[in-house]
Amino acid sequence: MVGTGALTGALLLGSAPAASADDIRDRQWALEAFDADKIWQRSTGKDVTVAVLDTGVDAAHPDLRGQVLKGKDLTKKGTSAQEDTDGHGTAMAGLIAGRGHGPGGNSGVKGLAPDAKILPVRYQRKDFEAGTSLAASVRYAVRQGADVINISRGGHQNSEDKRAIEYAIKQDVVVVAATGNEGIKKRTYPAAYPGVVSVGGVDDRGAVWQDSSWGSNTTLVAPAAKNVVTNSTYESGYAIANGTSDATAYVSASAALVRSAHPDLTAGQVINRLIKTAKVPGPEEARNPKLPDEKFGYGVVRPYRAVTYDIPAGAKAGPLAQPDKSSDSAADEASSDSGSSSSDDSAGWMFALGPPIVLFGLIFVVLVGLVVLVVILIKRKDRRDRVSDPWGSGGSGPVVPPQQYPGQQVQAPSGQFGGPPTSPPPPPNQPPSR
């Protein structure tokens, strides 16, 4: 998937002297809303790897030192995934696993899952730049052992990307993606693929963010406005960002917290915990909405409850609609299991078509059909001979023209339709409680 767009808009926070480190931490309103200090007493994301499929991650940023794995740059000008000339990937990594800097790590940006490791997969160098396919990035992340894949970018539907997402889900990876920032009903991919945790946004007052798009099977919402992020493209090393990109990073971090605290759960069961503990935003509760709601899914993610509450594990596949079994994903599974082979089928070639009695019946039908066909051809030849030489003299007579068969008309695929919101965003509310 090339030409995909980042789903965060960043603004300059200030020059290095003007933006003090303490000021940065104070502006991280989402950590306070999540009651992050209490979460970290139970889980910090340790032993979990979150793949950030983006523009790379600046491993030298003071808040990310020691957090960023080698990863891979899959762009055509591939150099290092630990570089980021755009800043978007670094911003997502900071929200997920930033550790701050200075004494006790009390300065700078701290991520929601500060002990998780970031696997950077660079498939675009800049926003809207054509790089490698998203599919290749997803497959690489899975094969490198990612537990969670964060895709804070969006674009159009692509069959190759879809198969790669299916592969990741079948390999027990939590895939999280953003719905978009247009504030309209619009399907954004990969968020709209089955099995993906599709993330919209809320603002710093706890209401659905006005620019949060929906229609991509929205699963959860998370902070998407006024987030302080790590961004080395600015002199200060920080920026203020808005977008469902940020919300996606927070949900990916929440999944990392749950996977760390409950390592025996499948990816689907992790998603189940996130869904079962979510909260309907603000005044939306008054109308008792049917869940999932098209705009906010099951509600605002609450990682503290997702980590600590006693919730039945549920089905291994989890509550989300699962991708259909495809030949590509089946081939992926076969290639990951070196012991499997189609030659091991003890039933033999006869049973590929069914039991022997069925096979012999098919052979009989075919033979009868061939006999009938030969008779018909002989009769047609005899008729053509009579028509082409009606006098039987070998002279040229009228010739029957070949019959023309109409071709099959190919139907155009049905389009996807969207439209403006049918109602204005809900009024402001307090930040989500834990």
Mean local confidence (pLDDT), 207-223: 95
Domain membership flag for residue 417: no
Check residue 127 and report its DSSP letter. T
In a domain, 263, yes or no: yes
pLDDT value for 124 = 76
- Let me know whether 247 and 142 are in one domain: yes
Helix (H) or strand (E) holding 37: helix 36-40
User: Same domain, yes or no, for 276 and 374?
Assistant: no
Kindly state whether residue 412 falls inside one of the protein's structural domains. Answer: no
**CATH number, domain containing residue 26:** 3.40.50.200
For 50-98, write each residue's pLDDT tens digit.
999 999 999 999 999 999 999 999 988 878 999 999 999 999 999 999 9
If asked whether residues 155 and 67 sit together in one domain, one would say yes
The answer to whether 320 and 197 are in contact (CB under 8 A) is yes
pLDDT reading at 342 higher than 90: no
Backbone phi and psi for residue 388, each to the nearest 5 degrees, phi listed first:
-70, -25
DSSP 321-342: PPPPP-HHHHHHHHHH-TT--G
Asked, for residue 195, whether it belongs to a domain, the answer is yes
Q: Which of 54, 84, 293, 332 is catalytic?
A: 54
**Angle 109-115-121 from CA coordinates, rounded to 5°:** 80
CB 255 within 8 A of CB 176: yes
Give the pLDDT confidence score for residue 421 in this predicted structure: 28
Confidence of residue 362 (pLDDT cuts 50, 70, 90): low
| List 73, 88, 161, 329, catalytic entry | 88
Q: Which residues pair with 221 in a beta bridge?
A: 200, 300
What pLDDT is stored for residue 371 in this prediction? 59
Q: What is the mean pLDDT of residues 382-411?
A: 31
**pLDDT at 396 > cutoff 50:** no
Please indicate, yes or no, whether residues 356 and 246 belong to a single structural domain of this protein. no
- Residues 156, 262, single domain; the answer is yes
Asked if residue 123 belongs to a domain, the reply is yes
Place of tokens 């790379």: 56
**Percent of the chain scoring above 70 in pLDDT:** 68
> What is the predicted pLDDT for the residue at 70?
97
| Beta carbons within 8 Å of 431's beta carbon, 6+ residues apart | 29, 32, 33, 204, 205, 206
| pLDDT higher than 60, residue 412 | no
Instruction: Decide if pLDDT at 255 tops 90.
Output: yes
Residue 411 lies in a domain: no
| 295 and 379 share one domain | no
What's the Cα-to-Cα distance from 313 to each of 147, 250, 268, 298, 376, rounded to whole Å?
18, 22, 9, 18, 66
Phi-psi label, residue 180: left if phi above 0, alpha if psi -120 to 50, beta otherwise: left
Q: Is 332 within 8 Å of 287 (Cβ atoms)? A: no
Q: Is residue 428 part of a domain?
A: no
> 133-137, 167-171, 257-261 — which is least confidently predicted?
133-137
- Between 8 and 116, whose confidence is greater? 116
**Mean pLDDT taken over the chain:** 78
Residue 407 lies in a domain: no
CB 6 within 8 A of CB 153: yes
Q: Regarding predicted confidence, which is higher, 102 or 21?
A: 102
- 319 shares a domain with 380: no
Q: How many CB atoms lie within 10 A of CB 40?
A: 19
The tens digit of pLDDT for each residue in 279-326 reads 999 878 878 899 999 999 999 999 999 999 999 999 999 999 988 765
Asked if 153 and 67 sit in the same domain, the reply is: yes
Torsion sign (Cα): 5, 189, 290, 322: negative
Note if the bond before 355 is cis, omega within 30 degrees: no
> Do 41 and 134 fall into the same domain?
yes
305 and 363 inside one domain: no
**Would residue 54 show up in a list of annotated catalytic residues for this protein?**
yes
Q: Answer with the residue of higher pLDDT: 208 or 393.
A: 208
Helix-then-strand count for the chain, H and E: 11, 14
Q: CA 111, 279, 94 angle in degrees (round to 5)?
A: 10
- Work out the number of other CB atoms within 10 angstroms of the CB of residue 108: 25
346 vs 160: which has the higher pLDDT: 160
Tell me, yes or no, whether 289 and 368 share the same domain.
Answer: no
Greater confidence (110 vs 385) lies with: 110
Question: 11: helix, coil or strand?
Answer: strand
Distances 167 to 97, 140, 160, 251, 344 between C-alpha atoms, Å: 25, 11, 11, 21, 24
Domain that holds residue 378: 351-386
Our answer to whether residue 344 is catalytic in this structure is no
CA–CA separation, 197 vs 306, rounded Å? 15
The average pLDDT across 414-424 equals 25
The residue from 43, 137, 213, 245 that is catalytic is 245
Q: How many CA atoms lie within 13 A of 319 on its CB side?
A: 18
> Are residues 292 and 367 part of one domain?
no
Query: pTM for the whole thing?
Result: 0.74
Distance in Å from the first CA to the final CA of the chain: 36
In the chain, the number of structural domains is 2
Whether the CB-CB separation of 164 and 135 falls below 8 Å is answered with yes
